[in-house]
Chains A and B, each alone.
Chain A
Amino acid sequence: MDFILNHLLTLILFFPVLAALILFILPSELKILQRWTAFVLSIIPLILSLVLWFNFKSGEPGFQFQEIYTWYSPINASYHVGVDGISLILVLLTTLLTPLAILTSFTITDRIKAYMILFFLLELGMLGVFMTLDLLLFFVFWEFGLVPMYFLINQWGSEKGEREIWGGRRIKSRTYASYKFILFTMTGSLGLLLAIQLIGVTAGTFDLVLLTERWVSLDTSLFNIPVHTVKTIAFWAFVIAFAVKVPVWPFHTWLPDAHTEAPTAGSMILAGVLLKLGAYGFLRLVLPLYPQESKYFAGALAFLAVVSIIHGALAAYGQTDFKRLVAYSSVNHMGFVVLGIAAAAFAVGTQNATIALEGVVLQMFNHGLSAAGMFFLVGVIYDRTHTRDLSEFGGFFPLIPVYGGILIFTSMASLGLPGLNGFISEFLVVRGAWPVFTIYTALAMIGLFFTGAYILKGIKMTLHGPLNTRWVGRLTEINGRELLVIIPLMILMLWIGVWPAWILGVINKAVMTLY
């Protein structure tokens, strides 16, 4: 037991590798065995994360469960992992969504082994970003997560659809989407790598704990460039890398394509966890390392956030493709995360900042639940109808009432209905941002209004609209396996909405000690 507790993070982090290896040696003809093994193995990190959660002492400042080993001694890079309240919640979100995504993927019939292995590698990449306390390692994991996702979209993405690119050539939508996804993110990462090198060389370490102490007050120059300039360059490099990932308008157009073309489980993880990497980057690196720069540029960030909120909601409302509608809703919801971050950056040290950041972290978790749930539900209907076109749906409620109820529930959580999770976090963000960026917060309400419009549009066109007789008798009710995916999410949505203290307590402590 002691061994487990002492190496808990490493165990969680690398268990997916072990799982991938186990799957690798299993014969690929036994599809059912492959699936179930993957599912059972994916539960173990979740259990370990729960152990982590219950052994985590939220009152203590700093990082817990730290492990540190030398990795690349010539450049002072180390294997250093540890969690605080913020990363703890995101680790939990990741290990929770991965089994659910794998359970969702039971409908995959093509090259199951490769698919599942990629999923585990994806989990490794995401967990690594949340756990690591070394910038170089951070970058490694950051990039590492891209590759499995690229293949998941490129190989298992939706089969239909073509897209014309410049020069009149037509390529498959999923090919286009996967290229766009990886190129967009890589472009952002280039700056990130440069910035990390700059920091490493200037400060002489990649260790985040040391950097947080040294970097802010650092006053030397690098190659005769004043430290102020170095910091500004590094700041913007970080911001762009994370803004692409969040995504913030106008860096968001990879998202609707990638989400729409990815397989259902891929979209769940993309929306549920991958977007959080960007927001996490802001919280973990940008705010602590660049307090002055963040404060100086907070207004610009808030502006982009508000544009994302409004634009995301409007674009979602303008969709006829159900999955794309849900995809754009992520732009809308993550806009609130960025708005909160901007407000906290500007009002650093005040109670407004604390409340805004509480809202931000909770919103990240909540969006993970509701976006994953929504993508899953879109997938359920896609599996049955093989279309995502809203205008081909209609009148599903009497045909599949249980599914209908679940869809309304999840949609309402996504809409931010009080009593469910989204409301608490949106309220906290609005409350935190209001005194800081009053006009922007007021404008964000336009987005909140249109959130209602697109959610109701989705419900109307699937469940209520005129019955499309094509589906009568061909549409089957949500099955047991699918219920097993969505019910944990629903329970959490309701629980957080009614009694948020259990999670906000952890967040609050983390936010208070960190900033």
Chain B
Amino acid sequence: MTIETLIWLIPLPPLLAFFIIILITNRNKGLSHTISVGSAVLSWIGSMVVVWAAINSEHLGLHPFTSYLPWFPTGDNWFVIGVQIDPLSAGTLFFVAWTILMIFIYSVGYHNFGQPNGDHDRAGLPPDWATVSDVHGHSHKVPSIEPMYSRFFAFIGLFAFGMYLLVVTGNLLILFVGWEIMGLCSYLLIGFWYGKPSARAAMIKAFMTTRVGDVFMLLGIAYLYTATGTLNYREIFYNEEVLHQLATTATGIFGLSVAGLIGLLLFIGAVGKSAQWPLHVWLPDAMEGPTPVSAMIHAATMVSAGVYMTIRIFPLLSAGAEHGQLTPTMTVIAFIGTFTAIFAATIAIAQNDIKRVLAYSTISQLGFMFAAIGIGAYVAAAFHLIMHAFFKALLFLGSGSVIHGMEHGVLHTGEHIDSQDMFNMGGLRKKMPITFWTFLIGGLALAGFPILTAGFWSKDEIFADAFGHNHWAVFITLAFAALLTAYYTMRQITLTFLGKPRTHAAEHAHESKWTMTLPLVVLAVLSVIAGWVGIPEDFPALGGTIPNFMHEFVGETLLEHPEMVVFSYIPLLTSLVVSLGGLTLGWLVYRDIKVGAFDPAQKALGPLYTVLKKGYYFDELYDFLFVRPSYWLARNFAYLWMDHKVIDGIINGVGHIAGLIGDFLRNFIDKPIINGFGDWVGETTKKLGFLFRSIQTGRVQQYMIIALVSMMAFSAIFYYLLVFTR
């Protein structure tokens, strides 16, 4: 089998798993997860083979693995789709395959496989508990298995298909197909427990918010297709002529070139998918889904898709940029990314829900990546994308493990507490050691803990790029965001794992099963070593011991290979200070939180704390500005007023007038004139009839007399006429 054939096959196993589970095995939970995890393993193997081949092939950027297929005819030619693995997609495929496989395995434990069916569990609600009795006849409450277990594995299979498709394709329209399939899956999975009103609201919110971006993206795709006649990456992004032409044609809209406008439209799609301000509102709510889904959607795959696509179209964005000057579109991207990075980081410091902290940190980290793209740090963006996927998947899965442990404690003690609130935790490091250590590694990577963690290297590269190219505003803002990141990460770790347990449930929490902890360990390892592929050559002491593989490899994707920034101590020191400073600060503030205590930040920040906790009231604002008015517009304006009142009013009015005219014709023309005339004729005839009836006596003699008289009278008349009028 050629490598190209293999690339075509990579996305298929999870799709098949989806169909098999939905159609055939949905009643058998064990078989369903076996099929699903098995499909993930197959795709993983395929991906690894392809990535390995990609790494070992010379000049992959120049000669990527491609294979094309005509999809449908458009006039004289065909719309051609295909797969393409170039260095960028190889890197993406690597992290996608790993995270997806780990999430699949984790899901088996997360959904309590092997536990009995719940006593009161219903499809559409999270599993509660089941009663089992042991050999002594004591009955215990134990966690119960997810009632829609098989369905979950079907959905994440489809999800994985969408992501794989998006990565391996070499065509923007097929990317969009994968993109939207993931949108559907995130909708279905965020609302997996649709019995909860909050989940119902969140699923629709996620779909609709990303759809705002999607419709712009669709226009961008249509525009690009119109302008170039193709949607294959190779013919657009690796084609100097096309890029030049797109960059030099003006559109007349905001002074943008065609390339700039298309780039902007596509970027808006990414803003929706990757939850950037101002379309970030869906992501925190998306935590309503089961935790593996949070990891899947909001770390490993879906939100990464937006960044991946934007990196993919980078040649379009940067087309026309000369001598380090950013194009207008890049400036917009840099602004949105930077702003989102700091904006979301500030919100994250005031969240108490363990998953919501991570959700906002995801938004913030994605902002880092967009900022990097915006300032032209192509490799740094890709590098951070890959590293972030590992440690964020780790953190989400870790938080799921924590919640699981807490729920166990809740079940044991019968306490009524929110098992996701970090202020109800504390001291979990002893109860859940594996979760603790792996979470710590993930947290440190997120905070950019120096040298050891992957997050340090990738974040450092963004700083170096921003500094090296004199993007001061971006540099300073991101540095501050990184400080906050380290701070809230340490806050989270301290509140959750350090100190003493603050509730009985936390005292009785216990470590999760191996199916859950194994993925944590694997991802923790990746969160450390993966960063080593991108150590700058001239980094003090370490530089050069391992070649900067990342830069060489991914940089090749572009026609014009990006240059390395010259090493400087300033970004490095900044990076060290914000990371270590933030971590220390977080530990100092939260190391000693008592039971029932308020968040110390609440006192320090005053009313601002509430504003941050509420996420700057964006939900309320959008609800007021868009959601309510659009329903009002739909119901009252479009339907009741326009259709019912105006249009139907006119039509019914016409009908009514027609009726009135009919009435008039009937009552004033028909009845008096036409009927009147007819009746008059009839009546008159009748009267005449009455008149003549008197001579109808029935006596023959009388008739004879009348006949005789008549004959004589007529004869006289005729005689007169014939003789005298001649």
CB within 8 Å of B: which residues of A?
Answer: 165-167, 180, 183-184, 250, 252-253, 256, 311, 314-319, 328, 351-352, 354-355, 358, 395, 397-398, 401, 405, 408, 412, 417-419, 423-424, 427-428, 430-431, 434-435, 441-442, 445, 448-450, 452-453, 456-457, 460, 463-467, 499-501, 504-505, 508, 512
Contacts and interface: CB of A to CB of B under 8 A. Distances in A.
Contact of A445 (B71, B173, B177, B219): B219
B716 interface: no
A410 to B, nearest CB: 13
A315 B200 contact: no
Contact of A508 (B74, B122, B179): B74
Interface stretch (B355-363, B384-392, B629-637, B678-686): B629-637
A431 B222 contact: yes
B70 A445 contact: no
Interface stretch (B564-572, B647-655, B665-673): B647-655
Given A419-B181, A441-B222, A456-B204, A318 B638 contact: yes
A75 to B, nearest CB: 32
B75 interface: yes
B208 A166 contact: no
Interface in B104-123: 122-123
B200 A460 contact: yes
Most chain B CB inside 10 Å of its own CB: which residue of A252, A419, A430, A504: A419
Contact of A165 (B177, B181, B647, B655): B655
A398 B226 CA distance: 46
B566 to A, nearest CB: 44
7 contacts: A184-B651, A412-B184, A430-B222, A449-B208, A452-B208, A501-B73, A512-B76
A61 B223 CA distance: 31
A503 to B, nearest CB: 9
Given A398-B122, A452-B207, A464-B200, 8 more contacts: A253-B647, A315-B642, A395-B124, A418-B179, A434-B222, A445-B218, A501-B70, A508-B75
B436 interface: no
A431 B226 contact: yes
Contact of B191 (A418, A448, A464, A512): A464
B469 interface: no
A453 B219 CA distance: 19
A250 B647 contact: yes
B326 interface: no
A499 B79 CA distance: 12
Contacts of A358: 74
B223 A315 contact: no
Contacts of B177: 418-419, 423
B433 interface: no
Interface of B: 22, 70-76, 122-124, 173, 176-177, 179-181, 184, 187-188, 191, 194-195, 197, 200, 203-204, 207-208, 211-212, 215-216, 218-219, 221-223, 225-226, 630-631, 633-640, 642-643, 647-648, 651-653, 655-656, 659
A319 B223 CA distance: 34
Contacts of B184: 412, 417
B245 to A, nearest CB: 15
Nearest to A461: B200
A167 B74 contact: no
Most chain A CB inside 10 Å of its own CB: which residue of B188, B637, B652: B652
Most chain A CB inside 10 Å of its own CB: which residue of B71, B72, B74, B197: B72
Contact of B180 (A165, A417, A442): A417
Contacts of A424: 72
Contacts of B75: 351, 354-355, 508, 512
Given A395-B124, A417-B184, A430 B219 contact: yes
Most chain B CB inside 10 Å of its own CB: which residue of A165, A167, A354, A398: A398
A431 B222 CA distance: 5
Nearest to B656: A166
Contacts of B200: 460, 464-465
Contacts of B122: 398
Contacts of A501: 70-73
Given A417-B181, A419-B181, A315 B639 contact: yes
A163 B618 CA distance: 43
A460 B631 CA distance: 15
A354 B223 CA distance: 16
Given A450-B634, A452-B208, A397 B71 contact: no
B226 A434 contact: yes
A38 B204 CA distance: 43
A398 B74 CA distance: 44
A34 to B, nearest CB: 34
A318 B636 contact: yes
Closest 9 CB pairs of A and B: A318-B635, A318-B634, A166-B656, A418-B177, A314-B638, A398-B123, A445-B215, A464-B194, A317-B634
Nearest to A412: B184
Contacts of B216: 445
Contacts of B219: 430, 434, 441-442, 445
Contact of A398 (B124, B222, B636, B652): B124
Contacts of A328: 639
Contact of A167 (B194, B643, B656): B656
Contacts of B640: 318
Most chain B CB inside 10 Å of its own CB: which residue of A315, A424, A499, A500: A315
A466 B197 contact: yes
Given A166-B655, A445-B216, A315 B72 contact: no
Given A397-B124, A435-B226, A466-B197, A456 B72 contact: no
Contact of B204 (A430, A460, A505): A460
B444 to A, nearest CB: 39
B18 to A, nearest CB: 12
Nearest to A353: B75
A51 B22 CA distance: 34
A3 to B, nearest CB: 34
Contacts of B648: 253
A317 B631 contact: yes
Contacts of A463: 194
Contact of A427 (B207, B222, B631): B222
A504 B634 contact: no
Contacts of B636: 318
Contacts of A419: 177, 180-181
Given A314-B638, A445-B216, A464-B194, A452 B211 contact: yes
Most chain A CB inside 10 Å of its own CB: which residue of B173, B177, B647, B656: B177
B487 to A, nearest CB: 38
Nearest to B194: A464
B32 to A, nearest CB: 14
B278 to A, nearest CB: 15
A85 B73 CA distance: 14
Nearest to B636: A318
A180 B651 contact: yes
Contacts of A448: 215, 218
B223 A456 contact: no
B218 A504 contact: no
Contacts of A316: 634
Contacts of B659: 166-167
Nearest to B218: A430
Contacts of B207: 452, 456
Nearest to A457: B204
B634 A314 contact: yes
A427 B225 CA distance: 11
A423 B215 CA distance: 12
A442 B75 CA distance: 24
A500 B643 contact: no
B212 A449 contact: yes
A254 to B, nearest CB: 8
Nearest to B162: A419
Contacts of B647: 250, 252-253
Contacts of A351: 74-76
B639 A397 contact: no
B191 A318 contact: no
